[in-house]
């Protein structure tokens, strides 16, 4: 099962300008990482839809906010050098954040994301990094079990934006039925 541009726009209507660019790369990434079938695809599209403001942002908008300023020097993110917080801000459809995550993602995708973190802003890499993150966090299993709230916690660390995520998920389940 692949998602069509029409289906994607029914779920993420604000993606109108970029839907045609993202449909093929979404289908490639979902296929590569086993994000197949209605439950998995609906959960994935809902989560990436929320995380990227419906495919409109592939780079974290930088203030820096208090939370973003806190990225600097965070060893759990691998941010060990001055400037790592901003350099390795959230990028991709699921915001890969921190030097350590960029390193792991780059190794998995065969990209030098430490030297070129902006590669995660390109549609094919933004999408593939999201599918890689999804897979490495065991989210297909949670999607199969309908554990959407647990998926949000693994992606977000909490439940920020859960109402929007849930609304997108409910819509995706209907569109993909």
Q: What is the DSSP letter of 61?
A: -
What are the Cα distances from residue 9, in Å, to 2, 59, 109, 131, 149?
14, 21, 27, 20, 24
Which run of H or E residues covers position 121?
none
- CA dihedral of residues 156, 76, 106, 14 (deg, nearest 10): 20
Asked about 51 being catalytic, the answer comes back as yes
Of 51, 60, 107, 121, catalytic: 51
Residue 88 to residue 90: CA distance in whole angstroms: 7
Question: Three-class SS of residue 100?
Answer: helix
Catalytic residues: 51
């Amino acid at each position: 099962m692949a998602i069509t541009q029409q289906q994607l726009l029914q779920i993420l209507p604000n993606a109108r300008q970029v839907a045609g660019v993202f449909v093929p790369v979404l289908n490639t990434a979902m296929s590569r990482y086993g994000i197949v079938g209605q439950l998995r695809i609906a959960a994935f599209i809902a989560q990436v839809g929320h995380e990227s403001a419906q495919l409109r942002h592939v780079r974290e908008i930088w203030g820096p906010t208090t939370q973003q300023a806190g990225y600097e020097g965070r060893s759990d993110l691998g941010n060990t050098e001055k400037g790592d917080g901003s350099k390795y801000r959230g990028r991709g459809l699921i915001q890969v954040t921190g030097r350590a995550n960029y390193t792991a993602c780059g190794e998995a995708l065969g990209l030098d994301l430490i030297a070129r973190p902006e590669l995660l802003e390109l549609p094919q890499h933004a999408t593939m990094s999201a599918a890689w993150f999804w897979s490495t966090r065991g989210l297909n299993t949670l999607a199969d079990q309908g554990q959407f709230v647990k998926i949000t916690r693994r992606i977000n660390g909490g439940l920020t934006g859960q109402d929007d995520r849930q609304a997108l998920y409910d819509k995706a389940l209907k569109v993909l039925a």
